[in-house]
Amino acid sequence: MIYGEVFISPDHAAAAGLSYASYVAGLAAGIERVRAETGVEGRMIVVGIRHFGEEAVEKAARIMVEEPHPLVTGFGLVGDERQGRVQDFARAFTLAWEAGYGLTAHAGEFGGPESVVDVLDNLAVTRIGHGVRAIEDPSLVARLAEEGTALEVCPGSNISLGLYADFSTHPIGRLRRGHHQFR
C-alpha cells in the first residue's frame, strides 16, 4: 500500500476565504477520489505556523479538535523554527494529544541539534519535521533511535535552503544508519 500525508493550514485556508470545514472537505474529497482510483491512502495533518505566534497555533489546534474529520490524523508545528520558544506552543500540542492526534514539529533544519532536543523535551512528538542537524550530536541520534522518533527528512528543501550543498553532502544516509554508526 502507498500512503501519503499532507500538511494543511487553517490559516492559509482563511487567507484564501475558505472555512476550515470547507477546506478539509475539499481536500478529503480529493483524497477519497485518489484512493478509489489508485488505492493510494492519504491523511491530513493540521499545522500551526510558528511565526504566526502562539495564539494562532493554539487556534489551529482548537479548530481541528472542535471540527474533527476522520482523515485528519495529526497536528504539527511548521514555519520558521527560530521564532518563539517551543514551550510557548505546548498548550496547542496538549489539546491535540488529549484529542488523540499524532504529533510532529519542525526542528533541526535552521535550528541546530538543540532545537530537536527542545521539541523532544517539550512537545511529546513522535516525529520531527526535518531534524537533519541532529547528525551534529551523536547522543541525540542515539536518543532518536532509542525512542523510535521518526525524522520527516526532505533533502530537496534542505539543499534549496542552503543547509547542504548537494545530495552527496546531505546526511540522510548517515541518519538512516542511526546510532549504530557511533558505537
Cβ contacts of 172 within 8 Å, gap of 6 or more:
132, 153, 155
Which of 98, 109, 136, 152 is flagged as catalytic? 109
pLDDT of residue 182: 46
Give the predicted TM-score (pTM) of the model: 0.90
Concerning whether 114 is annotated as a catalytic residue, the answer is no
pLDDT of residue 178: 63
How is the chain split into domains, by residue range? 1-102, 108-183
pLDDT of residue 183: 42
Q: Which residue has the cell 492559509?
A: 12
pLDDT of residue 179: 52
pLDDT of residue 150: 93
| pLDDT by position in tens, the chain (length 183) | 899 999 999 999 999 999 999 999 999 999 999 999 999 999 999 999 999 999 999 999 999 999 999 999 999 999 988 888 999 999 999 999 999 999 999 999 988 999 999 999 999 999 999 999 999 999 999 999 999 999 999 999 999 999 899 999 999 988 887 655 544
What's the CATH fold of domain 1-102? Rossmann fold (3.40.50)
